[in-house]
Amino acid sequence: MADHAPFTKDPNVLTEYVRQALSRQITQQFSGGGDTLRVITVGPGLEKRIAESVQQSEQGSYLALDPVATQQIYHKLREQVSRVAQSGQNPIVLASPTIRMYLRQIVERTMQDVPVLSYSELEPNVEVQSVGVVNL
C-alpha cells in the first residue's frame, strides 16, 4: 500500500493494488495448488458496459448502472454460477482488473461466497480455463 498511497487515496484502488501484490497467495488459494483454474469469464460487452458506467467523485469511484442493467448482469451471472456449481465445481468469476471491484459489488449482494478475481491477481504459471462466459 505504501508504494501506491502517494498516487491515490481511494481505498478501493489501494485494495486492488494489495490484491495484486498477493497474487501468489490468491492463486494458490483458488487453484488448490494445481496448474489449472476453472473460471467463469466476463465477456467483452459486459466489461465495456461496466467500465463505461464507472463514475468518479471526490470520495472515489462508484458504479452507476441503471437497475435494469444491474438485474440483467446479476441474472446472467447467476445462471453461469448455478450451472458451474451443478457440475460439482466451485464457481469463480474472472474479470479485468479495472472492473473487478465493481463486478464484486454486484455479486456480493446475493452470492457472497462466489469469488471475483482479476487477471492481475493470478500468477502467470497458472492455466486459466473458461467454463462459462457472462456477456450482455
The one-character DSSP state at 121 is G
- Helix/strand number for the chain, H first, E second: 5, 6
Q: Indicate the pLDDT class of residue 56, thresholds 50, 70 and 90.
A: confident
The CATH class given to the 11-134 domain equals: alpha beta
3-state secondary structure of 110: coil
Q: What's the confidence (pLDDT) of residue 4? A: 41
**How confident is the model over 83-134, as pLDDT tens digits?**
999 999 999 999 999 999 999 999 998 899 999 999 999 988 899 999 999 9
Q: What is the pLDDT of residues 36-48, one digit of tens each?
A: 899 999 999 999 9
Across the range 16-35, mean pLDDT stands at 79
* C-alpha cell, 122: 493470478
Contact 135, 46 (CB under 8 A): yes
Angstrom CA distances, 114 to 12, 21, 45, 123, 136, stand at 19, 21, 21, 20, 20
Kindly report the pTM of this predicted structure.
0.84
